[in-house]
Amino acid sequence: MLLSCLEMERVYHSIVSTRINYVTAQNCNNLKMAEEQKKEEEVAIHGDVLETILSYVPLINLLPACFVSKTWNAAVSSSLSRFNKPKPWLLVHTQSIRRPHATAFFAYDPRSDIWLRINQKQPPQHVSPLRSSNSTLLHVLHPSNFSFSIDPFHLTWHHVNPPAVWRLDPIVAMVGPRIVVAGGACDFEDDPLAVEIYDISTRTWERTESMPATLKDSASSTWLSIAANTRTVFMMEQSTGVTHSFNPDSKTWYGPFDLRPDRSIYFSVITCVGGNLIMLGLLGDAEDVNYVKVWELNGESLEFGKEIGVMPTELVEKLKGEGTSLNSVRVSCMGGFFYIYIILGSLGNW
């Protein structure tokens, strides 16, 4: 049977179309089989393997991982509790010495060994310096007002009337619901040892008994190490170890106490861990530091309970940095974790 050219063309296109559909269907089946085979070859990451991997992820990056799935959320929680546990962050505030005296806020995460810059609500821009008392209390003292923030990330600032006595370098400490401001008075003030207490709940200032006369030559935050718990503020001369305590409830001073368990201590600082007072001391002399030791003190009499630890020699050398001497140190503590550092101009060694 003879076919016209038109009919032959229709038959040809029909055969070609059938062939194309067959090839397309075959390719789809091949792709599907390949994907299924690939899935069978893949090994799901879960359990201890996933938790171990997550233990190496910086803490700041674990938050998105919590939203991947319920399994990942559980793995993140388990990893943080079993492997690389979170540690208290060190919060560092810096302030420019040039106008407008801009401030910056940084945090160090020891679990991840990284520094983070944190955006925050800026405190009042004053010539007066931004200060801290090795606690969550951050403050700015100006002739016209007293500004302070007590939350850890300093998202909220309070602005109140200044204390009656003008001060340049006072001791400022948070004790329960009160802020104690002591010493550091200007030369023209009648009482350089004046003490005032600000009650946060009533928003009022109260003048109280002055600092002990034994502190008259060191009544400023430059020479005194300060520590406070919910009931008491402690003030220790860094060079001698002579210590006094003050109770804002009873408005009573106690001491002096001699905090020198070892006569080779030439410099010491204090901090509070929970309700206990901790002292860190440098032994030897500034040119030849023998040890850096930490002690726990017990009770109201501040008796030495036990020696907590001794800093390894290699860390002492690292703390000194490029210098040949170690004249002083600073310490911050939170959750039983110590940060010991020195101030070198605008920089510190950690």
Residue-wise pLDDT tens digits, 88-116: 888 888 888 777 777 888 989 998 889 98
- Residue 221 CA to residue 259 CA, distance in Å, equals 18
Nearest to residue 305, comparing CAs of 315, 318, 295? 295
Rg, C-alpha atoms of the chain: 32
Which residue has 């390894």 as its token pair?
Answer: 312
| Neighbour-count burial for 89-104, b at 16+ CB within 10 Å, e otherwise | bbbbbebeeeeebebe
Which residue in the block uniquely carries the two structure tokens 């799935």?
A: 69
CB atoms within 10 A of CB 52: 14
Q: What is the largest CA-CA distance in the chain?
A: 129
DSSP string, 135-186: SS-EEEEETTEEEEE-STT----EEEPPPSS-BSS-EEEEETTEEEEES-B-
Determine the Cα–Cα distance for residues 151 and 157; give it in Å rounded to an integer: 9
Give first-to-last CA distance, the chain, whole Å.
98
Kindly report the pTM of this predicted structure.
0.78
* Digitized pLDDT (tens) for each residue of the chain, 350 residues in all: 333 443 434 434 444 444 444 444 455 555 555 555 555 444 566 778 888 888 888 888 888 888 888 888 898 998 888 888 888 888 888 888 777 777 888 989 998 889 988 876 655 555 578 888 767 788 998 888 999 998 877 888 899 999 999 998 999 999 999 999 999 988 878 899 999 999 999 999 999 999 999 998 999 999 999 999 889 999 999 999 999 999 999 999 998 999 988 889 999 999 988 778 899 999 999 988 999 999 998 877 788 878 889 999 999 988 888 777 888 998 888 777 888 988 765 444 44
